[in-house]
Amino acid sequence: MNKIQRDGAVLCLPDQVEGKLFTVCCIADEGFGEELGAIWDNLPPVAALLIPPGRWEDLSPFPAPALREGDPDFTPGAEKVLNRAAETFEKLQRDFPLQSSPALAGYSLAGLTALYGLHAGWGKVFSAFGSMSGSLWMEGWNEFALSHPVPPEARVYLSLGGKEEKAGNPRMRRVGEATRAEVNRLKMQLPAKNLHFTLHPGGHFKDIPGRWEAAIRWLAEKEKPVRS
């Protein structure tokens, strides 16, 4: 893996590049590079652009109270992260062999950010969206998604741990119901081949690299949109 640091982000490329690469913009900090390295050899030839998320609480699309007493409240910073991802990709595309129309993917609250981008009109920049264990329990999400249809050419990957809806926090326990509602909503708006949902064994922190691998592989292998 060849890592290039640029504009506060990290671009990961194969050691040997032949032609332009499909890019997955991963909302994740530089530390994610180690997890990515563990699965890199199992992936098809792709470029991975790591976009630092900043404060975890700022990844939310909406303001919301903290999960636990004493923790910071959630503040709406998702739009800023999406702008940063789009701008960074555009700059790097000038200097590196990257295909246009990258994917956008994230885990946990960053997974919610990716789906927010899907519903909020960012399909003009990102052709595919991946949400792994997305925090769809967030207040206001269901209403927002219902009122913002997605572009029919988008490709969407969702996954969830089977035990996540058994979390101790009552708000987080809503994640199973909310994720299934999102899958059913997308089934009504996307061709079947453009949507994939996987239920992984375990809770929220089980085999995170493996869940990223499954998502990136699907997004990369389905890089040509299937249009309705």
Q: Are 74 and 62 in contact (CB under 8 A)?
A: yes
- Asked whether residue 143 is domain-assigned, the answer is yes
Instruction: Give domain status of residue 54, yes or no.
Output: yes
Residue 160 lies in a domain: yes
161 within a domain of the structure (yes/no)? yes
Question: Taking residues 33-37, what's their average pLDDT?
Answer: 89
Burial of residue 170, with CB atoms counted within 10 A of its CB: 0-12 exposed, 13-18 middle, 19 or more buried: exposed
Contacts of residue 69, Cβ cutoff 8 Å, sequence gap at least 6: none
Q: Is residue 228 part of a domain?
A: no
pTM of the model: 0.94
| pLDDT (0 to 100) of residue 224 | 52
With respect to residue 156, please indicate whether it lies within any of the assigned structural domains: yes
pLDDT for the residue numbered 63 = 94
Q: Checking phi first, is residue 121 left (phi over 0); if not, alpha (psi -120 to 50) or beta?
A: left
Between CA 37 and CA 23 the distance in angstroms is: 16
**pLDDT over 80 (residue 13):** yes
125: in domain: yes
Q: Are 117 and 89 within 8 A, CB to CB?
A: no
Q: What is the CATH number of the domain that holds 84?
A: 3.40.50.1820
- Residue 70 DSSP label: T
Does 226 fall in a domain? no
Domain that holds residue 33: 2-221
How does pLDDT run across 184-217, given as a tens digit for each residue? 999 999 999 999 999 999 999 999 999 999 999 9
d(CA 218, CA 123): 18
Q: What is the DSSP letter of 219?
A: H
- The answer on pLDDT for 227 being more than 60 is no
Q: What pLDDT score does 223 carry? A: 67
What would the pLDDT profile of 125-177 be if each residue is shown by its tens digit?
Answer: 999 999 999 999 999 999 999 999 999 999 999 999 999 999 888 999 999 99
DSSP classification of residue 17:
-
pLDDT value of position 226? 35
Number of domains in the chain: 1
